[in-house]
């Protein structure tokens, strides 16, 4: 039996993909030495010039990957921290997301941009951000944010095989925190599919990344109190799996959306809107969101960081209120 | 489509050698420059008639574009051009009819099928890289193609182009920096036409020549007379050969001049002195070329007139044909957001 | 009496502000010659070195403005087309939005970034974009998108006077299309306030920019059919005026959110979520959104552009369905 | 707070003149360099004890930082530093106690009140510009301050700093380009410590010296020995005076070496040869300074020992005091998202 952490699952998938297809190569800051989270450790020794240290320049990490993917290679770009991807916003939004659209598929970009996101690691303002809302509002880009090691591995393979640009978000707090026995573990192999991780009749919680685990813990607590929650692991944030979202919302009539990102303009708004438009008749309660307060980003000091971060307790409180509604 | 040779006549072989260009190439050069200019003229006419919403032209830059593109290997080398580079696209195989389809955003325009503004070139078969309206981003795409080719050990060269104003953007720096560090086979070709819309080069650059920017990357670079197609070819061709053989990237500046307003929406009288325009018009690259090859006795007047006639015929045909082609359906706005394999 | 177009209102406000306060200066591409939309025409002749042509580099237009505002000046930066602001995303998100937060107000940035947005002008993919969803998800930045000339003038003054970074969005299609007699015209002078432009009991339409005008036209049509709409001009997109949004939603029980931006991840999601959480008990119908389809951006050809753009007809169709629900 | 003079003793006036620095300045230089180093050492100790979550230090760069900062006018000139610049902050007035408050993210840390990671400096009164973790963005902020000062005709200078790796970013290019075009009073000071985390300079630059990048902007620039505080001062001071008088921007590179891992989270044994570290340790800037002023007879051993003792006392006090200061309350995460006037 093989138990893997998230970081091991990510590294394993890259190793497997590079071994199977020599068009796959890595580009990013410090990747030759293994990367600051050691996701690429050993790969330079094994694959040599296919693991390339980039200069400290995010626009080029994305822009070069676009060129290489257009040429027919399969770049896996690493942005050291999601917080630093913004200099590449232009290349992702104005170029990568439109490559296929503006040529009607005559040209396309099989590229992956991996990056560690999320808080709870004393990373402060610029090593903790949730960036998914910005980058999920780009038709043409796929955004993936798994929660369990087995999915990290299978979905990273799917992202590498996909002919479109995929932003692959890895929650850094879970890198070594979350382990899973992966042999025979349920693993989603398709981009665009959410998973119902837990079934309950009283309400549905939608989450991803670290918050999926916090939501499962909250659901466990509520179960002990007699409230049964459905918990949906969104897995792919763009395009969203509307079917699973609506099926579960209709089934439970009460919904709670959880994310670590700040509330206003976060992905929760879109999920709430989808439900409020297409499952309205089934709703028995207001649509609730648990998210971070509207401040620029995670403060550094642990007391303020804890205040900022949603967690199992805050989720449980909201779920109880919703159940009682 | 290249020009077919016209009737034979005697001419001095010596001058031909000086040019490093064969008769056929010299004829092609004139043909493509002229085709680009006449196309642009017809496009502007269609715009004035309200039949084309937007025109952005390369008038004044034909010699730079055709001279540089002819130095590449058609079908093998990559081109990541910018919106003015009609001349380059023609050298790479775009026909007059295709150019008109693109102008009119017709359903069958193979650059973007009416999805992008005109002059946003793309053609995978011809190795023309799709570009957006956002300037300079293509410099990184070209470097990425160079990196991929180097990894695959393919002996190709990538040329990417922009205007002098676009060299102020961060992506310019990041692309040259990376290409220089990895000695990539990329020709960064800057068409300095003196203006970025209304801004003269002094507003964009602290250096007199764009090519001076090469010094921060210790790569090779040179300035050439962008009004002289032969000089451009003679400058770019050796660089392309060097780059193909591992010589690393080049930054080449072609000094030309934007003979027209920035685009069909621009009124250049707000910022451009008449006098300056008149001076530069005397160095119209097409006029210069014709005078030179005629006086050197490469082509007698008749040959050149013959080319002019052929070009005019092609353009008349292209415009008439393109105007009758189908427009996209409203629903054609949908599809290909994601590539399906 | 003075009739002003949108572009005249914008120019007038800048002229007035520059005359009143010599800390105000302009920075942007081609602003000395008057700008491509002529918003700054004549100002260079009048204010000389306080109107500065920037190189073609958006990250610097924003970054330089940050420095100048920190020093105590009041820069008005112009981004020639909203589509080109993305290279400045990093400077806006990582720096400008957090300047006050990360110093607890010890430092702050009285700066304005003006930019023409929106479609319907044959601008194609990169001269037509709606960018508000990205930049409204940045606590610390205020985002303003007026619809009427009088508001353009008064809110641009408010933006210049505000000690925070303000992204001032000018809908380019309305620049010369919308005129208004401005003497004594109602003009909002506070950032953060929406306006109820029209009162009706049957449903509420929320919109901004060109779509506000299209929504008013649709409301007029529906009125002829006996359906009375409330129309809310949001004016400020961040922070949103939750009070006005909720008051009108509760009053009509049916809501329709309209924007030109693509549907998924657009600002409409957030507005829907606010209503679905805080006005749930008052809702008599699903929350509807009228927005552009999820494709990367406006296609160029007029047939496809018309297909992409929401308009009075599409709004009227949705409003009728909602009224009939 | 500056060092108070220690007991008088005879010394060669000649050498003093060579330094272009007064006795007091030389003493201050030693004091600040030593204070920075000892503070970093204590910070790392606190981190090892689990009392400080994160440390990023300037060990090996103290001479570069203190020498450069001393060339500025405290209270008048602006500083847009980067995370390693503890030494510069000390010269600008930060106390040992404040440095410890910042390390521990205490409620009263005036840099960010616990909102940012340690070493993200800010102090409006001292004209220290707040910075994020995103590297090189501050280059544009400095240019913007220079532009504002030029518009207001204020005779100030701005110095902004980053590491050599950060010069690969687009903002570096855009900032130097603009500052050069407008001849702004900005000193772009690059502390080349040989590494960008694990990446050696060859990975970041095609040029041997960061200062070579000046050539693309035709501005002045120079390289100095970043391990010699006096040499750094002697290089930066004239540039500051020139810039103040309209001489335009400078790009100055201080060659130093990162004596410690990148941060308290980094394991440099993965990528750094022991041998190299040993070699460079011989040139420890603080050791070098002490040897030089001692052998030149500027300060007898006793004076220098006295400074060491004073520094140690200050740091002991600072650490003890800071540890007892209040932490932020959870709710302190709220507020000041928008400035209210
Ligand atoms: C990033 C970006 N900013 C602004 C524009 C608007 N714009 C289009 S062309 C142009 C001037 C470009 O000048 P230059 O690079 O010299 O090329 P030229 O048009 O002169 O050939 C500008 C500012 C743009 N297309 N992209
Ligand atoms: C835009 C951005 N990308 C990546 C990082 C992560 N990072 C922090 S420091 C650093 C290396 C910086 O090297 P250098 O500029 O030489 O400064 P040094 O740390 O060596 O002093 C990197 C990659 C960052 N902070 N900002
Ligand atoms: Mg130009
Ligand atoms: Mg370094």
The CB of C84 under 6 Å from ligand 1? The reply is yes
- Contact residues on chain A for C282, CB-CB shorter than 8 A: none
Instruction: Please say whether the dihedral angle defined by the alpha carbons of residues C156, B198, B136 and C118, taken in this order, is positive or negative.
Output: positive
- Chain A residues 197-226 with CB within 8 Å of chain D: none
Q: Check whether A179 has a pLDDT greater than 70.
A: yes
Q: Cβ separation of A276 and C276 shorter than 8 Å? A: yes
- State whether the beta carbon of B192 lies less than 6 angstroms from ligand 1: no
Give the number of whichever ligand sits closest to the CA of residue B131: 1
- Residue D323: count other Cβ atoms within 10 Å of its Cβ: 14
Nearest to D115 among A30, A294, A300 (CB): A300
A53 contacts on D by Cβ (under 8 Å): 198-199, 203
Contact (CB, 8 A) for B254 and B189: yes
Q: How far apart are CA B122 and CA B112, in angstroms?
A: 7
CB contact under 8 A, D337 and A53: no
Mean pLDDT of the region C308-312: 98
- Give B137's contacts in chain A (Cβ within 8 Å): 63, 90-91, 94-95
Residues A218-276: tens digit of each pLDDT:
999 999 999 999 999 999 999 999 999 999 999 999 999 999 999 999 999 999 999 99
Taking the CA of residue C294 as centre, how many other CA atoms within 13 Å lie in the half-sphere pointing to its CB? 18
Query: What's the CA gap between D138 and C64, in Å, rounded?
Result: 10
pLDDT tens digits, residue range C18-42? 999 999 999 999 999 999 999 999 9
Report helix, strand or coil for D115: coil
pLDDT in single tens digits along all 341 residues of chain B: 334 444 445 555 556 667 788 989 999 999 999 999 999 999 999 999 999 999 999 999 999 999 999 999 999 999 999 999 999 999 999 999 999 999 999 999 999 999 999 999 999 999 999 999 999 999 999 999 999 999 999 999 999 999 999 999 999 999 999 999 999 999 999 999 999 999 999 998 999 999 999 999 999 999 999 999 999 999 999 999 999 999 999 999 999 999 999 999 999 999 999 999 999 999 999 999 999 998 888 888 899 999 999 999 999 999 999 999 999 999 999 999 999 98
Helices then strands, counting H and E runs in chain A, come out as 11, 14
Residue B252 pairs in a beta bridge with: B189, B222
* D301, burial (CB in 10 Å: exposed 0-12, middle 13-18, buried 19+): exposed
Alpha carbon distance B62, B37 (integer Å): 7
B194 close to ligand 1 (CB < 6 Angstrom) = no
What is the per-residue pLDDT for D204?
87
Chains that touch B (3 or more CB pairs under 8 A): A, C, D
Angle at which helix C58-71 crosses helix D137-152, to 10 degrees, equals 60
Phi, psi at D129, each rounded to 5°: -85, 130
Count other Cβ atoms within 10 Å, centred on residue B244: 17
DSSP element (H, E) containing D191: strand D186-192
Search chain B and give the residue with CA nearest A139.
B337
Q: Is A190 on the interface with B (CB under 8 A)?
A: no
Give chain D's mean pLDDT: 94
Catalytic residue among C70, C122, C126, C127: C127
D contact set with A (CB within 8 A) = 53-54, 105, 112, 114-118, 120, 132-136, 165-166, 168-171, 196-199, 203-205, 265-266, 270-271, 327-334, 337
* Residues C201-253: tens digit of each pLDDT: 999 999 999 999 999 999 999 999 999 999 999 999 999 999 999 999 999 99
What does the alpha-carbon distance between residue A153 and residue A7 come to, in Å, rounded to a whole number? 9
Give the residue whose CA is nearest to atom 6 of ligand 2. A80
CB contact under 8 A, C277 and A289: yes
In this structure, what token pair is assigned to residue D280? Answer: 């460079």
Tokens of B185: 């086979």
Looking at residues D297-312, what average pLDDT do you find? 93
Short-list D108, D69, D122, D99, CA closest to D314? D99
Least confident of B3-7, C298-302, D333-337: B3-7
- Of D196, D199, D226, the residue with max ligand 2 atoms within 8 A of its CB, to mutate for a pocket test, comes to D196
Q: Which residues of C302-313 are buried (b: 16+ CB within 10 A; e: fewer)?
A: bbbbebbbbbbe
Q: Is A63 on the interface with B (CB under 8 A)?
A: yes
Residue D198 CA to ligand 4 center (angstroms) comes to 9
Rounded-to-integer distance, Cα B13 and Cα B10, Å: 9
Q: Say if residue D341's pLDDT is above 90.
A: no
State the nearest Cα–Cα gap between B26 and chain C, in angstroms. 36
D258 CA to centre of ligand 4 in angstroms: 7
Contact call for residues A157 and A13 (beta carbons, < 8 A)? yes
- Any idea which residue has 């409203």 for tokens? B330
pLDDT digits (tens, 9 = 90+) for D158-210: 999 999 999 999 999 999 999 999 999 999 999 999 999 999 999 989 999 99
Cα distance between residue B329 and residue C219, in whole Å: 29
Which residue, judged by its Cα, is nearest atom 23 of ligand 1?
C56
What helix, strand, coil percent values describe chain D, rounded to 5?
A: 50, 10, 40
- The helix (H) or strand (E) run that includes residue B322 is helix B301-324
Burial (CB < 10 A; 0-12, 13-18, 19+), residue A26, is buried
What's the CA gap between A218 and D72, in Å, rounded?
Answer: 56
- Beta carbons of C82 and C237 less than 8 angstroms apart: no
> Quick one: pLDDT band at residue D298, thresholds 50, 70, 90?
confident
Q: Cα dist. B168→B190, C58, D205 in Å?
A: 12, 10, 19
Residue D165 CA to ligand 2 center (angstroms) comes to: 7
Chain-chain contact of D133 with A36 (C-beta, under 8 angstroms): no
pLDDT at A1 over 90: no
User: How many contacts does A have with B, using Cβ atoms within 8 A?
Assistant: 136
Question: What residues of chain D lie within 8 A of the CB of B219, using their CB?
Answer: 206
For residue D153, what are the contacts with CB-CB under 8 A and spacing of at least 6? Answer: none
Backbone angles phi, psi at D75, to 5 degrees: 90, -20
Rounded-to-integer distance, Cα A62 and Cα A115, Å:
12
**Between residues 137 and 166 of chain C, which touch chain D (CB distance below 8 Å)?**
139-140, 142, 163-164
Nearest CA in chain A to C59: A87
For residue B307, the number of C-alpha atoms closer than 13 Å in the C-beta half-sphere is 24
Angstrom distances, CA of residue D21 to CA of C38, D36, D67: 55, 20, 11
Which helix (H) or strand (E) covers residue A260, if one does? strand A255-262
pLDDT for B1 equals 35
* Residue C144 tokens, joined: 């303003």
In the block, tokens 């798994």 appear at A146
Dist. CA D172 → ligand 4 center (Å):
15
Q: Are C81 and C127 in contact (CB under 8 A)?
A: yes
User: What's the rounded Cα separation, in Å, for the pair C81 and B235?
Assistant: 36
Distance of alpha carbon D72 from alpha carbon D79, whole angstroms: 9
Q: Where are the beta strands (DSSP E) in chain C?
A: 3-5, 24-28, 51-53, 74-78, 112-117, 142-144, 166-171, 179-181, 195-198, 203-207, 229-233, 236-238, 255-262, 288-292
Rounded to an integer, what distance in angstroms lies between the CA atom of residue A131 and that of residue A117? 7
Q: What are the pocket residues of ligand 2 if the criterion is a CB atom closer than 6 Å to any ligand atom?
A: A 29, 56, 58, 80, 84; D 84, 133-135, 162-166, 193, 195-197, 258, 262
Distance from Cα D143 to the centre of ligand 3, integer Å: 24
pLDDT > 90: percent of chain D: 90
**Tens of pLDDT along C123-164?**
999 999 999 999 999 999 999 999 999 999 999 999 999 999
Q: Contact A212/A173 with Cβ under 8 angstroms?
A: no
Contact C106/D at CB under 8 A: yes
Cα–Cα distance, D152 to D144 (Å, whole number): 12
Say how far apart CA A245 and CA A205 lie, in whole Å: 10
Q: Are A97 and C297 in contact, with CB atoms under 8 Å apart? A: no
What would the pLDDT profile of A36-74 be if each residue is shown by its tens digit? 999 999 999 999 999 999 999 999 999 999 999 999 999
Please, which residues 240-299 of chain C have a Cβ atom closer than 8 Å to chain B? Answer: 293-296, 299
pLDDT score, position A184: 87
- Closest ligand 2 atom to the C-alpha of A126? 25
DSSP state of D114: T
What is the C-alpha to C-alpha distance for residues C73 and B307, in angstroms, rounded to an integer?
A: 60
Q: How far is the CA of D129 from the centre of ligand 4 (A)?
A: 21
How many Cα atoms sit within 13 Å of C93 on the Cβ side? 27
User: What residues of B are in contact with residue C34 (Cβ under 8 Å)?
Assistant: 270
pLDDT per residue as tens digits for the range A183-197: 889 999 999 999 999
Under an 8 Å CB criterion, which residues of D touch C?
Answer: 78, 80, 110-113, 115-116, 120, 122-124, 129-130, 132, 134, 137, 139-149, 151-152, 170-171, 174-175, 177-178, 181, 335-341
Q: Which residues in B20-140 belong to E strands, given as ranges?
A: 78-80
Max CA pair span of chain D: 60
CB atoms D216 and B219 under 8 Å: no
Name the neighbours of D, counting chains with at least 3 Cβ pairs within 8 A. A, B, C
Instruction: Give the chain D residue nearest B170 (alpha carbons).
Output: D170
Distance, in Å, from the CA atom of C7 to the CA atom of C12, rounded to the nearest integer, reads: 8
| CA–CA dist D110, D121 (Å, integer) | 9
Q: How far apart are CA D247 and CA D256, in angstroms?
A: 27
Residue A121 or residue B5, greater confidence: A121
Chains that touch C (3 or more CB pairs under 8 A): A, B, D
* DSSP β-bridge partners for residue D253: D190, D223
The rounded distance, in Å, linking the Cα atoms of C272 and C206 is 10
Instruction: Please confirm, yes or no, whether D262 is among the known catalytic residues.
Output: yes
**Beta pairing class for C112-117 and C166-171:** parallel
Distance B89 CA to ligand 1 centre (A): 20
């Amino acid at each position: 039996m093989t138990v893997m952490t998230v970081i091991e699952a990510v590294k394993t998938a890259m190793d497997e993909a590079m071994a199977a297809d020599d068009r796959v190569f890595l580009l990013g800051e410090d990747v030759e030495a293994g990367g600051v989270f050691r996701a690429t450790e050993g790969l330079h020794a094994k694959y040599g010039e296919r693991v390339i240290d980039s200069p400290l320049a995010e626009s080029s990490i994305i822009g070069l990957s676009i060129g290489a993917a257009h040429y027919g290679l399969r770049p896996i770009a690493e942005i050291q921290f999601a917080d630093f991807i913004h200099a590449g916003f232009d290349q992702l939004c104005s170029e990568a997301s439109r490559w296929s659209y503006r040529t009607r598929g005559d040209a396309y970009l099989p590229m992956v941009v991996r990056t560690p996101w999320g808080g709870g690691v004393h990373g402060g303002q610029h090593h903790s951000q949730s960036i998914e809302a910005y980058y999920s509002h780009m038709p043409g880009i796929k955004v993936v944010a798994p929660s369990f090691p087995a999915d990290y591995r299978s979905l990273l393979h799917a992202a590498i095989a996909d002919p479109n640009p995929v932003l692959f978000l890895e929650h850094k707090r879970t890198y070594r925190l979350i382990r899973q026995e992966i042999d025979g573990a349920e693993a989603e192999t398709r981009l665009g599919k959410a998973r119902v991780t837990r079934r309950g009749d009283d309400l549905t919680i939608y989450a991803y990344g670290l918050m999926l685990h916090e939501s499962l813990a909250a659901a466990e607590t509520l179960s002990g109190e007699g409230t049964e929650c459905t918990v949906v692991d969104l897995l792919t944030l763009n395009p969203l799996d509307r079917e699973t979202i609506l099926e579960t919302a209709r089934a439970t009539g009460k919904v709670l959306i959880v994310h670590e990102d700040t509330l206003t303009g976060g992905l929760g708004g879109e999920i709430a809107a989808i439900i409020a438009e297409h499952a309205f008749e089934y709703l028995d309660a207001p649509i609730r969101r648990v998210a971070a307060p509207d401040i620029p980003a995670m403060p550094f000091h642990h007391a303020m960081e804890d205040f900022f971060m949603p967690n199992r307790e805050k989720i449980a409180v909201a779920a109880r209120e919703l159940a009682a509604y | 489509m290249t020009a077919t040779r016209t009737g034979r006549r005697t001419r001095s072989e010596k001058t031909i050698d000086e040019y490093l260009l064969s008769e056929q190439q010299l004829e092609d050069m004139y043909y493509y420059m002229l085709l680009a200019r006449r196309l642009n003229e017809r496009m502007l006419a269609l715009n004035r008639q309200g039949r084309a919403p937007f025109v952005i032209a390369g008038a004044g830059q034909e010699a730079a574009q055709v001279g540089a593109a002819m130095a590449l290997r058609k079908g093998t080398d990559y081109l990541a051009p910018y919106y003015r580079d009609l001349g380059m696209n023609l050298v790479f195989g775009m026909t007059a009819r295709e150019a008109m389809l693109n102008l009119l955003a017709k359903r069958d325009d193979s650059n973007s099928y009416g999805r992008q503004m005109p002059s946003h070139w793309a053609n995978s078969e011809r190795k023309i890289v799709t570009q957006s309206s956002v300037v300079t981003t293509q410099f990184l795409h070209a470097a990425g193609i160079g990196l991929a080719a180097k990894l695959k050990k393919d002996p190709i060269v990538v040329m990417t182009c922009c205007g002098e104003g676009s060299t102020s953007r961060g992506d310019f720096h990041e692309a040259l920096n990376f290409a220089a560090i990895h000695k990539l086979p990329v020709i960064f070709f800057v068409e300095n036409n003196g203006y970025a819309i209304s801004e003269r080069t002094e507003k964009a650059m602290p250096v007199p020549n764009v090519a001076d920017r090469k010094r921060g990357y210790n790569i090779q670079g040179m300035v050439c007379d962008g009004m002289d197609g032969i000089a451009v070819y003679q400058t770019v061709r050796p660089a392309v050969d060097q780059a193909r053989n591992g010589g690393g990237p080049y930054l080449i500046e072609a000094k030309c001049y934007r003979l027209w307003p920035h685009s069909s929406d621009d009124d250049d009288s707000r910022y451009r002195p008449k006098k300056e325009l008149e001076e530069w018009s005397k160095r119209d690259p097409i006029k210069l070329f014709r005078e030179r090859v005629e006086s050197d006795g490469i082509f007698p007047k008749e040959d050149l007139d013959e080319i002019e006639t052929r070009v005019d015929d092609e353009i008349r045909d292209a415009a008439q044909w393109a105007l009758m082609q189908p427009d996209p359906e409203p629903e054609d706005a949908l599809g290909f957001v994601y590539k399906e394999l």
